[in-house]
Structure 1
Amino acid sequence: MKNQVNIGCSSFYNSFWKTIFYPQNLPSKKWFDFYCQHFDTYEFNGSFYKFPTVRIFQNWYNKTPESFMFSVKVPKEITHIKKLIDCESLLNDFYNICKDGMKDKLGAILFQFPPSYDFSKDKLGAIIGILNYDFKNVVEFRHESWWNDEVWKVFKENNITFCSVSHPNLPQTIFKDFPILYMRFHGIPRLFHSSYSTEELKHVNQKIHSQKGFVYFNNTASEAGILNALELKRMAI
Structure 2
Amino acid sequence: MKTNTLIGCSSFNNRFWKGVFYPENLPSKKWFEFYCQHFDTYEFNGSFYKFPTVRIFQNWYEKAPENFIFSVKAPKEITHIRKFEDCTVLLKDFYEISRLGFREKLGCILFQFPPSYVFSIEKLENIVRNLNYEFENVVEFRHQSWWNQEVWDVFKHYKITFCCVSHPNLPETILKDFPLIYIRLHGVPKMFYSSYDSDKLLHIKNETDSQTSFVYFNNTASEAGILNALQLKELSI
Same fold (TM over 0.5): yes
Give the letter for the 1:112 counterpart.
Q
List per-residue Cα deviations over 1:151-206 (Å, max 9, x = no partner): 00000000100000000000001011100110000000000000000111111111
1:163 aligns with 2:130: no
Q: Spell out the pairing of 1:76-225 with structure 2 (5 A cutoff).
A: 76-225=76-225
Partners of 2:99 and 2:42 lie apart in 1 by: 16
Q: Residue 5 of structure 2 aligns with which residue?
A: 5
1:23-42 to 2 correspondence within 5 Å?
23-42=23-42
In 2, the alpha carbon distance for the partners of 1:40 and 1:76 equals 26
Structure 1: where are the runs of 5+ without partners?
none
Amino acid aligned to 2:55: R
Q: Deviations over 1:13-50 (max 9, x none)?
A: 00100111000000000000000000000000000000
Counterpart amino acid of residue 30 in structure 1: K
User: Following the alignment from structure 1 to structure 2, what is the Cα–Cα distance between the partners of residues 180 and 49?
Assistant: 26
Shift of 1:149: 0.4
1:213 CA displacement: 2.3
Aligned residue identity for 1:120:
S
**Between 147-156 and 202-211, the greater mean CA deviation after superposition:** 202-211
Structure 2 CA distance for aligned equivalents of residues 205 and 197 of structure 1: 13
Give the counterpart letter for 2:233 in structure 1.
K
- The alignment yields a C-alpha RMSD, in angstroms, of 0.8
Q: Which amino acid aligns with 2:229?
A: A
**Alpha-carbon distance in 1 for matches of 2:148, 2:210:** 25
Alignment of 1:28-67 (within 5 A): 28-67=28-67
Structure 2: where are the runs of 5+ without partners? none
- Counterpart of 1:235 in structure 2 is 235
What percent of counterpart residues are identical? 69
Report the 3-state secondary structure (helix = DSSP H, G, I; strand = E; otherwise coil) of the residue aligned with 1:215.
strand
- Aligned residue number for residue 74 of structure 1: 74
Moved more, 128-137 or 204-213: 204-213
How far residue 207 of structure 1 moved from its aligned partner, in angstroms, is 1.1
Q: Which SS does the other structure have where 2:145 is aligned?
A: helix
Alpha-carbon separation, structure 2, partners of 1:203 and 1:181: 14
Matches of 2:214 and 2:202 in 1, distance apart?
Answer: 17
Supply the AA of the counterpart residue of 1:96.
Answer: E
State the shift of 1:210 in Å: 2.1
Q: 1:148: Cα distance to partner?
A: 0.3
Per-residue displacement from partner, 1:107-127 (whole Å, max 9, x unpaired)?
Answer: 000000000000000000000
Find the aligned partners of 2:105 and 2:161 in 1 and give their Cα distance.
Answer: 19
Other structure's SS at 1:189 match:
coil
Separation in 2, partners of 1:213, 1:102: 19
